Every structure is written in structure tokens, then in C-alpha cells.
């Protein structure tokens, strides 16, 4: 008859080591399991970076917070291609350039919120964020008759309490999935390459209204996207209607 007790006593160290290995394997599986990672990630509040779409449509957006040298040039270029886009405006910029705000609206572009003073929202309370956002909304609505429904957080910074504050007033936070990095002063060819290499159906592209080489880069980007069969629309038109979720990457997905 096999002495089971004696066998385990003689091999105690072996079984102890095997037990530790099993514990480590189980912990690794738990931490890296897609279902668990997904569940944890969806608890975060996120802005929309891009949209899951089958059709070839992309959204083009411009942030306007400081200079105004190229706004009319951008309007002319976009008008040449019969394209409407989204401009996210800082309230202080609206105060400085009301004629440009009116010109953008008259040209058919949608004007959305980029905060009142371009403050760091993560350092503000929820009440302060709401007050800041509404202040910018009031300024845009006064000039255009339309109240913004979308916002791009200053510096692209956010956390749960920032998104919660934005959601509390019925607005939607918008990020981007394709960054032109035009604000860095890179050459037009580099801007074009960065955008065209990364764009895909449902992308939200980020430009700036006062970047040095954006007007030079824009026609080639538009022509290439159109040649590939893409339709270029404002951000609000790329968003899904009805029920949706936002996954851990910030992708808007239909339920």
C-alpha cells in the first residue's frame, strides 16, 4: 500500500514551490484577462476619441485659442472643397475675434466649446468647470444663435471628475485619434504624412487655426482623403445616434 502521507512529507518543498507557481499564474491571468481588463477600464469616464464606423467618414476639427492669422484662409480652403468642419473655440478667443466667429458660422462650420480661458480643468472643482463651460457656451451662442453641445478639454486633459462635470450639463467631451501636431511648427509634408498615415473610418482629426503650415498642408490632405473615398464631416455628424458605449480606448461603439 502506498504511503500517501509519507510521500507528501518527503516532497513538501516541491509541492510548496508548485503551489506558489500556481498562485502566480492565477494572479497573472486575473490581471491580464480581457474581460477583467475591459470591465475595469469601462468604469473610467472617457471622452470620445473616435467612432466605430464601417463607412468611410472622418471628422475634421480645429482648435482656436490664441492667434487668428489663418482663420479666413482656412475658411476659404474648406469652402473651395465644400467641406464643413468643427472649430473648438476658447471663450477669450471669441471675445477677441467676434468677426471670425461670425465668419466661421456663416461659412457653415459648427462652433463648439474649448473652455472659457483654457484653464487646467483637473485643478478645478466640478462647479468651477460647469461655470467655465457655460461661460464659453454663452459667448458662442450670443454671436451665432447656437449653443455648443460638444467640448474639447483644454490641453486634452481630463479625469473622471472633469468628464462627470461636462456630462452633468448634457455636453459630450471630444478628444481626437489623429493628431497633426501642426502646433509644433512642423513642415506641411510632415503634417500631411502624419494625418494620412493614421486616418481610418471614424477618425477625429486635430488641427489648429493658427498653426504655421496647416493652410499649406490642408489641400493635399483633403484631396487625398477624397480620392480614397472618404467623406469629411463636422464632429457632430460622425457621432453615433441612439445607445452607445465608450470602450477603454475612447472608441464610441453602438450597443
Residue 63 is among the residues annotated as catalytic for this protein: yes
State the pLDDT confidence band at 183, using cuts at 50, 70 and 90: very high
How confident is the model at residue 209, as a pLDDT? 97
- The answer on pLDDT for 30 being more than 90 is no
Top-confidence residue, 33 or 182: 182
- The answer on pLDDT for 27 being more than 50 is no
Report the alpha-carbon distance of residue 101 to residue 72 in Å, rounded. 10
The secondary structure of the chain, three-state, reads CCCHHHHHHHCHHHHHHHHHHHHHHHHHHHHHCHHHHHHHHCCCCCCECEECCCCCEEEEEEEECCCCCCHHHHHHHHHHCCCCCEEEECHHHHHHCHHHHHHHHHCCCEEEECCCCCCCHHHCCHHHHHHHHHHHHHHHHHHHCCCCCEECCHHHCCCHHHHHHHHHCCCEEECCCEECCHHHCCCHHHHHHHHHHHCCCCCEEEEECCCCCHHHHHHHHHHHHHHCCCEEECHHHHCCCCCEEECCCCEEEEC
7-44 burial string, b = 16+ CB within 10 Å, else e? eeeeeeeeeeeeeeeeeeeeeeeeeeeeeeeeeeeeee
- The answer on pLDDT for 52 being more than 70 is yes
- The answer on pLDDT for 227 being more than 70 is yes
How confident is the model at residue 153, as a pLDDT? 98
How confident is the model at residue 43, as a pLDDT? 74
Q: What mean pLDDT is predicted for residues 12-23? A: 52
Q: What mean pLDDT is predicted for residues 69-73? A: 96
Q: What mean pLDDT is predicted for residues 6-19? A: 52
Given 92, 208, 213, 247, the catalytic residue: 208
Top-confidence residue, 183 or 17: 183
How confident is the model at residue 244, as a pLDDT? 94
State the pLDDT confidence band at 5, using cuts at 50, 70 and 90: low
Top-confidence residue, 30 or 12: 12
Identify the CA nearest to 57 among candidates 180, 232, 205.
232
Given 63, 70, 132, 182, the catalytic residue: 63
Q: What mean pLDDT is predicted for residues 245-255? A: 95
pLDDT digits (tens, 9 = 90+) for 72-122: 999 999 999 999 999 999 999 999 999 999 999 999 999 999 999 999 999
Share of the chain above pLDDT 90, in %: 82
Residue 118 is among the residues annotated as catalytic for this protein: no
How confident is the model at residue 31, as a pLDDT? 38
Amino acid at each position: 500500500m502506498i504511503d500517501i502521507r509519507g510521500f507528501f512529507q518527503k516532497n513538501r518543498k516541491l509541492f510548496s514551490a508548485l503551489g506558489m507557481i500556481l498562485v502566480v499564474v492565477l494572479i497573472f491571468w486575473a490581471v491580464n484577462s480581457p474581460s477583467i481588463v475591459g470591465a475595469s477600464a469601462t468604469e473610467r469616464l472617457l471622452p470620445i476619441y473616435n467612432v466605430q464606423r464601417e463607412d468611410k467618414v472622418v471628422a475634421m476639427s480645429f482648435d482656436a485659442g490664441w492667434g487668428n492669422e489663418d482663420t479666413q484662409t482656412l475658411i476659404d480652403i474648406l469652402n473651395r472643397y465644400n467641406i464643413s468642419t468643427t472649430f473648438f473655440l476658447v471663450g477669450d478667443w471669441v471675445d477677441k475675434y467676434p468677426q471670425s466667429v461670425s465668419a466661421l458660422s456663416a461659412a457653415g462650420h459648427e462652433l463648439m466649446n474649448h473652455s472659457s480661458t483654457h484653464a487646467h480643468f483637473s485643478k478645478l472643482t466640478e462647479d468651477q468647470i460647469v461655470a467655465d463651460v457655460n461661460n464659453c457656451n454663452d459667448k458662442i451662442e450670443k454671436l451665432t444663435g447656437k449653443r455648443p453641445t460638444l467640448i474639447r478639454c483644454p490641453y486634452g486633459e481630463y479625469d473622471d471628475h472633469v468628464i462627470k462635470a461636462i456630462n452633468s450639463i448634457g455636453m459630450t467631451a471630444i478628444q481626437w485619434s489623429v493628431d497633426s501636431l501642426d502646433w509644433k511648427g512642423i513642415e506641411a509634408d510632415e503634417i500631411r504624412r502624419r494625418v494620412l498615415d493614421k486616418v481610418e473610418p471614424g477618425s477625429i482629426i486635430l488641427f489648429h487655426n493658427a498653426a504655421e503650415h496647416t493652410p499649406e498642408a490642408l489641400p493635399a490632405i483633403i484631396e487625398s482623403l477624397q480620392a480614397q473615398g472618404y467623406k469629411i464631416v463636422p464632429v457632430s455628424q460622425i457621432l453615433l445616434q441612439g445607445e452607445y458605449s465608450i470602450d477603454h480606448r475612447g472608441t464610441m461603439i453602438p450597443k
